[in-house]
Chain A
Amino acid sequence: MKKIKLFIAISVLLISSNSFGQFFYSDLTYNMSVPVGNTADFISKTSFRGLTFSVGRFITDELAVDVRFTWTTFYEEVDPQTYTTDNGNGAVTGKQFRYINAYPLTTGLKYVLNTSSEFSPYFGAGLGAYSINERTDMGIYYDEINIWHFGFYPEIGFNYNFSYDFGVNLYARYEYALAAKEAGAFSTLVFGVGFHF
């Protein structure tokens, strides 16, 4: 929670700075995410619920550093099935409602080409802490794992600038968080579109 508060405080500071300096920028995008690997084993449906907010600053003409917060919710209903316990003496049948709420809090670098033109492609990468909540509801029961993971991402995309401080941002990103404690690895392909300002 302290980390989130700190992140919000820094974001507000940077977004305020964005109004006064040309080296700062922000991105707010809508995300759709395709689960892969372990994540797809748990929930196979594509998520259409998510967003990314980032604030960054150019440290050279082409290289920028940013911090970002992402939120993605995966959800799937699984028709009634019978699940047996590991020791074989129990069986449970019911409909499951599965959720993943992922909140990556990352920092990264971005290499931007053609920074002074309308079309500015870029590639970047980052790493940070991923808060991932996996929950399964089944009748009156629920099972929940809420753990911080270490994760990273590579990303490619572009900005199309309508003015020097406003444009659109499109990208594709692969997110991967390592397994932690009883929680498995988390991986997803993220496609985003939104505002660059």
Chain B
Amino acid sequence: MRLIEHRVKYLNYLLFVSIPFLMFSCYPGGMEYYSDTDVVITLHDEAFDFAGNKNYFMPDTIRHIVEEGEEDEVNRIYDDEVLARIAMHLESAGYTRFESDVISDSVLVDSANVILAVVATSTEYSGVGYIPGGGYWWGWYPYGGYGGYGGGYSTSYYYPYYPYYPGYGWGYPYYYSYTTGTLFIEMGYEDGIDEVEEKIPIPWHAAVNGLLSGSLSDMQTRVDRSIDQCFEQSPYLFN
């Protein structure tokens, strides 16, 4: 009887000590696959006349942002597919693409209503972001990047103005701490450029997070699905 009582007393301590182990051992998991990280974000200026600005110019390359001294970790094998898919959706939304082998790009840019810029990056993110928030979004966001005139980026001269996000307002704070790739699709309103302030309004902005990580086998599907989603959740483009 004494032995039983003795064991019961030590069982008390054993149970008490086991609590932290129980707590940590059965904590639920989270994201398991790269596709779980896929997030599509779109923002737009509600005052912008999308129906009246259907002529666009889009460079035939995707601009890859690479920090100084770093290597470009984003694979370029999907670039053509991304641009083709964006063009396909814009066409179905009634947009006309200005492109020519004869006429210079600068003339085409001046003639178009809007410019589509596609940017890819792969960076380790950590900090506080704002959705929506345009220029406040990312710490690295290139305020002057579009005005860099070269700097190794072949498309930057098409877009020599600071982006301006009219009507996006101040958003909700979100916290992030992951390494991932992001694809940005930005519509710049060429006819609305402020020459004095050197600003170009961005009436539509799309960002696809997580798209540039993962296995090649399912990457194509994820690329297509995410770009499709950008347009599916932007019905105003089809006005």
Interface of A toward B, CB cutoff 8 Å? 11-12, 15, 18-19, 26, 28, 49, 51, 53, 71, 73, 75, 80, 82, 85, 87-95, 97, 99, 137-144, 163, 165-166, 195, 197
Chain A neighbourhood of B13, CB < 8 A: 15
In B165-180, the 8 Å CB interface with A consists of: 167-169, 171-172, 174-178, 180
In B1-43, the 8 Å CB interface with A consists of: 4-5, 8-9, 11-13, 15-16, 19, 22-23, 26-28, 30-31, 36-43
22 chain-A/chain-B pairs, Cβ below 8 angstroms: A12-B16, A18-B12, A26-B12, A28-B16, A28-B19, A51-B19, A51-B22, A53-B16, A71-B23, A89-B43, A89-B46, A90-B171, A91-B41, A97-B31, A138-B39, A139-B180, A140-B125, A140-B209, A141-B39, A144-B175, A163-B8, A165-B5
Task: Please determine whether A142 and B5 come into contact, CB atoms closer than 8 angstroms.
Answer: no
In B156-202, the 8 Å CB interface with A consists of: 167-169, 171-172, 174-178, 180
Chain A neighbourhood of B176, CB < 8 A: 140-142
Q: How many Å from the CB of B186 to the closest CB on chain A?
A: 14
- With CB as the reference atom, state the residue of chain B lying closest to A8: B16
Chain B neighbourhood of A28, CB < 8 A: 15-16, 19
Complex formed: what's the CA distance from A93 to B12 in Å? 49
Q: How many Å from the CB of B102 to the closest CB on chain A?
A: 39
| Size class of the contact patch on chain B | 35 or more
Chain B neighbourhood of A140, CB < 8 A: 37, 39, 125, 176-178, 180, 209-210
- With CB as the reference atom, state the residue of chain B lying closest to A92: B41
Q: How many Å from the CB of A5 to the closest CB on chain B?
A: 14
- With CB as the reference atom, state the residue of chain A lying closest to B4: A163
Choose from B27, B169, B233 the contact partner of A91 (Cβ within 8 Å). B233
Task: Please determine whether A89 and B28 come into contact, CB atoms closer than 8 angstroms.
Answer: no
Prevailing SS type, chain A contact patch: strand
- With CB as the reference atom, state the residue of chain B lying closest to A139: B39
Chain A neighbourhood of B30, CB < 8 A: 97, 137
Chain B neighbourhood of A94, CB < 8 A: 38-40, 209
Task: Please determine whether A89 and B44 come into contact, CB atoms closer than 8 angstroms.
Answer: yes
A19, A49, A140, A165 pick with most chain B CB within 10 angstroms: A140
Q: How many Å from the CB of A105 to the closest CB on chain B?
A: 14
Chain A neighbourhood of B220, CB < 8 A: none
Not counting A80-B38, A89-B169, A142-B175, a sample of 16 additional A-B residue pairs whose C-beta atoms are within 8 angstroms of each other reads A85-B132, A88-B46, A89-B45, A92-B40, A92-B131, A94-B38, A97-B31, A138-B39, A139-B37, A139-B210, A141-B39, A141-B176, A144-B175, A163-B8, A195-B15, A197-B11
Q: How many Å from the CB of B35 to the closest CB on chain A?
A: 8
Task: Please determine whether B132 and A197 come into contact, CB atoms closer than 8 angstroms.
Answer: no
- With CB as the reference atom, state the residue of chain A lying closest to B230: A93
Chain A neighbourhood of B45, CB < 8 A: 89
Q: How many Å from the CB of B31 to the closest CB on chain A?
A: 6
Q: How many Å from the CB of B160 to the closest CB on chain A?
A: 26
Complex formed: what's the CA distance from A89 to B234 in Å? 10
Complex formed: what's the CA distance from A82 to B28 in Å? 24
Q: Check B59 for interface membership: any CB of A closer than 8 A.
A: no
Across the A-B interface, the 4 shortest Cβ-Cβ residue pairs: A139-B39, A94-B39, A75-B28, A141-B174
